[in-house]
Amino acid sequence: MKGLYTALMCSFDEKGKINEKGLREIVRHNIQESQIDGLYVNGSTGENFLISTEDKKRIFEIVKDEVGDQVKLIAQVGSLNIDEAVELAQFTTDLGYDAISAVTPFYYKFNFEEVKDYYNTILESVDNDLIIYSIPALTGVNMNLEQFGELFENEKIIGVKFTAPDFFLLERIRHAFPDKLIYSGFDEMLLSASVLNIDGAIGSTFNVNGKRARQIMELSAEGKMEEARKVQKETNDLIAAVLDNGLYQTIKEMLKFKGIDAGHCRKPMRELKEEEVGRARQIAEKYM
């Protein structure tokens, strides 16, 4: 399960319906062009929290059908509705996903015992491995080393998608739990995380920047830090331009520039203005 995983985008039509043709094209692009090791399906980048349970299931089905066994698949099943999380965990396990993942429960100020019960409830329902999705900036859930240790006592919890800038905690987790998988979740900090011996990364921009992400990991592993810094700098130039223009919308426009039917974002995400579409195409010309 080590390696680089794209946080997969989903193509939607103008009415917010799944564009199956476009989704399959995005999947193939990630496998054939970005040459990633796996896909992280129905995470934030897939606009997961804007779609229905049935749409989530359909996306899981389409991706598995398109991928087969070509690369590893991780299904993000986390939800504020624990019944939905369990249902999706069972559904994707039956489909043959290699692992499930679940964002920490958010919005309400859940205490750690509630967070722990959430993960254990999901895992009691399936025979599959789980990767914690920790993104404190969006969930408000900050866990310390001891709490990660308590979660890792469940042998089915095999690792964490660590989307936080706390490299002290990341180092402590790496040292304390050498057998658990750690995936970096911040694309702009990939090099900084790589020197702490992470097992891989899961990133939104890998949809358009997967090859550079692999270069960063490989150069870091080889100790070629100056070269790695140059690639990270180029990556961060791309990321800064994308963020300034509209993250998910811009990545989709960049994919369209490459002939991929990446579609639209679901409301309440807005459409790009004409000049922003032009900037997205310029970013694609420069970096893809």
34 labelled binding-site residue: no
Q: Which residue has the tokens 């991929």?
A: 260
Per-residue three-class SS string for 219-252: HHHCCCHHHHHHHHHHHHHHHHHHHHHCHHHHHH
Query: Is 285 known to sit in a ligand binding site?
Result: no
Query: Which helix (H) or strand (E) element contains residue 24?
Result: helix 20-32
Which of the residues 5, 133, 183, 287 is marked catalytic?
133
Cα atoms in the Cβ-side hemisphere of radius 13 Å centred on 168: 2
Closest CA to 67 of 102, 92, 103: 92
45 assigned to a ligand binding site: yes
Which residues have a Cβ under 8 Å from the Cβ of 239 and sit 6 or more positions away? 187, 188, 205
Does the annotation list 92 as a binding residue?
no
CA separation, residue 92 to residues 66, 89, 113, 124 (Å): 15, 5, 26, 15
Residue 3 in tokens: 């390696």
Active site residue 161: yes
For tokens 């979660």, the residue is: 151
Angle 24-28-32 from CA coordinates, rounded to 5°: 180
Among this protein's residues, is 133 annotated catalytic?
A: yes
Of 270, 229, 216, the C-alpha closest to 247 is 270
User: Is residue 44 a known part of a binding site?
Assistant: yes
Residue type, 38: G
SS3 171: helix
Q: Among the options 161, 180, 252, 256, which is catalytic?
A: 161
The annotation status of 188 as a binding-site residue, yes or no, is yes
The answer to whether 204 is a known ligand-binding residue is yes
- Which residues, 6+ apart, have CB-to-CB distance to 174 below 8 Å? 182, 196, 197, 198
Q: Which residues are annotated as a binding site?
A: 44-45, 163, 185, 187-188, 204
Residue positions annotated with a catalytic role: 133, 161
Residues making up the annotated binding site for aceneuramate are: 44-45, 163, 185, 187-188, 204
